[in-house]
Amino acid sequence: MSETTLLKGAFLIDCTGGEPVEEASVAIEDDRIWRVYCGDSRPSGQWDSVIDCSGMTVMPGLTDAHVHIGAVDVNILDQHREHPSNLVALMMARILEDTLMQGFTTVRDAGGTDWSFKEAVERGVVEGPRLLISDKPLSQTGGHGDWRRRSETQTPEIFCPTAGMRSVVCDGADAVRAAAREQLRLGADQIKVMASGGAMSPADELSATQYQLEELRAAVEVAEAARAYVMAHAYNDGSVRNCLRAGVRSIEHGNLIDEETARMIAESGAYLVPTLVTYEALSEEGESYGVPGDVIRKINEARELGIQALRHAYEAGAKIASGSDLLGPLQDRKARELEIKTEVMSPMEALISATRTNAELFGMQHEIGTVEEGKLADLLVVEGNPLEDISVLRKKANLKLIMKGGRITKNSLEEGAE
């Protein structure tokens, strides 16, 4: 027997790009949106449950294109030295649960999380969002995924835990090709490469360009052969341009790009995934969590330039997705990313970046990202109107109902039957 639910009488933001609807109802059958009632169209018939959403907003579940479920500490440089992997795995389960309770029903892990956590969510062992995993990101020696301090001369494998912030150091096109194939064998949905220096790595600067063009192309060729794609950590013009020449689909961060590079992103059809909230959070609180001063310096550099880079991309017409890149306890700020985006984009555009555009980036546009008939019933019922005040999404108390694949994981509203 099918299970049916009616969300009745809501203000609907469907995130298709169309205008919101004042009085709408959404009918769900099992895990799918069966019908959307708008205007003169009124629901009739019997439903297993009817939830009155009058005065509330119904919208798609939020998505995040850049999370690190395995970042259980803010100071990820020392996380693997402080916590045993079994403890990290349990902490990751808690992060998954909290991510879903923030209204994020699908997330793309940008490195560290393996297939076992995806399987745990799918089996119902852990409550969490739908997971797209990268497993271990690929880094050159001394690159953004090489966690060794200068005093540490052991091989990088020693510093790769079995759970948490994991990476693989590989140099040369053949080694990159083999490492990319291994991540796919282990269930990766996409390949992550480190194409520039980063704030949280001990041996490089944001301006550093990493991996040669032939190495990046090797990763892209492997991913495309498996009908997957490459996402690349890249801050500066040189690294972003190399990624575009290699065929990378998803540019992460991009804080240091100029107008010309932004135009190249737009022309290539690649997606830019800004992660503005993490710089704000780390700048404000990183020191109190033990993040080294040199890292804070790089964080502040990225923060100062991030809005300018977003504006370049927006004005160039690039496809702007949405990610957070938050670490440890700071991961409770995920929805703040949308608020920061409204310094450049409209509230509707910011919402679409975290719903429809992300779904397109993931290759899941036929399944998630909008409130349309036939799609998975990933839905939020929100107290308040995010188009008038997008910050309402930051408070869990405003998320009155969270539904993932037709299953209600939170409900603070009255329900009955008709």
In this structure, the answer to whether residues 319 and 410 fall within a common structural domain is no
| Nearest C-alpha neighbor of 364 from the set 229, 247, 232 | 229
Asked if the model's pLDDT at residue 247 lies above 90, the reply is: yes
- Give CA torsion, residues 322, 365, 259, 229, to 10 deg: 90
Question: How is residue 271 annotated by DSSP?
Answer: E
The predicted structure's pLDDT at residue 418: 53
Collapsed DSSP state (helix, strand, coil) of residue 62: strand
Q: Name the pLDDT band for 122 (thresholds 50, 70, 90).
A: very high
Q: Provide the CATH number for the domain around residue 395.
A: 2.30.40.10
Q: Read off the amino acid at residue 344.
A: V
Query: Quick one: CA dihedral 393, 397, 401, 402, positive or negative?
Result: positive
pTM of this prediction? 0.96
Of 326, 347, 362, the last residue of a domain is: 362
Asked if the model's pLDDT at residue 158 lies above 70, the reply is: no
| Rounded-to-integer distance, Cα 296 and Cα 204, Å | 14
pLDDT digits (tens, 9 = 90+) for 64-102: 999 999 999 999 888 888 899 999 999 999 999 999 999
Tell me the residue range of the domain where 302 lies: 62-362
In this structure, the answer to whether residues 125 and 258 fall within a common structural domain is yes
Count of structural domains within the chain: 2
pLDDT digits (tens, 9 = 90+) for 162-188: 788 899 999 999 999 999 999 999 999
Q: What mean pLDDT is predicted for residues 99-126? A: 97
Instruction: Find where tokens 């205008």 sit.
Output: 19
Contact 362, 65 (CB under 8 A): yes
> b/e map of 26-35 (b: 16 or more CB within 10 Å)?
bbbbeebbbe
pLDDT digits (tens, 9 = 90+) for 304-355: 999 999 999 999 999 999 999 999 999 999 999 999 999 999 999 999 999 9
In this structure, the answer to whether residues 11 and 106 fall within a common structural domain is no
In this structure, the answer to whether residues 30 and 122 fall within a common structural domain is no
pLDDT digits (tens, 9 = 90+) for 191-217: 999 999 999 888 889 999 999 999 999
Q: Name the pLDDT band for 146 (thresholds 50, 70, 90).
A: confident
In this structure, the answer to whether residues 187 and 318 fall within a common structural domain is yes
CA 153 remoteness from chain centre: 34
